[in-house]
Amino acid sequence: MATNDAFKIASLEGKVTLITGASSGIGAATSILFAKLGAQLALNGRNVENLTKVAKQCIELGAAQPLLVPGDLSDEDTVKRTVEQTLSHFGRLDVLINSAGILAMGSIESTSLEQYDTVMNVNVRSVFLMTHLCVPHLIKTKGSIVNVSSVNGQRSFPGVLAYCMSKSAIDQFTRCTALELAAKQVRVNSVCPGVIITEVHRRAGLDEEQYAKFLERCKETHALGRPGEVDEVAQAIAFLASDAASFITGVNLPVDGGRHAMCPR
Give catalytic status of residue 116 as yes or no: no
Return d(Cα 28, Cα 39) in angstroms, integer: 14
Query: Strand, helix or coil at 141?
Result: helix
Please pick, among 73, 126, 163, 181, the residue that the annotation labels catalytic: 163
Core vs surface per residue 137-176: b (16+ CB within 10 A) or e: bbeeeebbbbbbbbbbbbbeeeebbbbbbbbbbbbebbbe
Residue 134: which of 80, 180, 90 has the closest Cα? Answer: 80
DSSP 8-state symbol, 196: B
Residue 86: which of 49, 136, 32, 122 has the closest Cα? Answer: 136
Q: Torsion angle, CA of 3/6/12/17, rounded to 10 degrees?
A: 170
The 10 Å Cβ neighbour count of residue 65 is 11
Residues 6+ apart with CB under 8 A from 211: 201, 202
Sheet holding 16-19, edge to edge: 67-68, 40-43, 16-19, 95-98, 144-148, 187-193, 252-255
Q: Which residues are catalytic?
A: 163
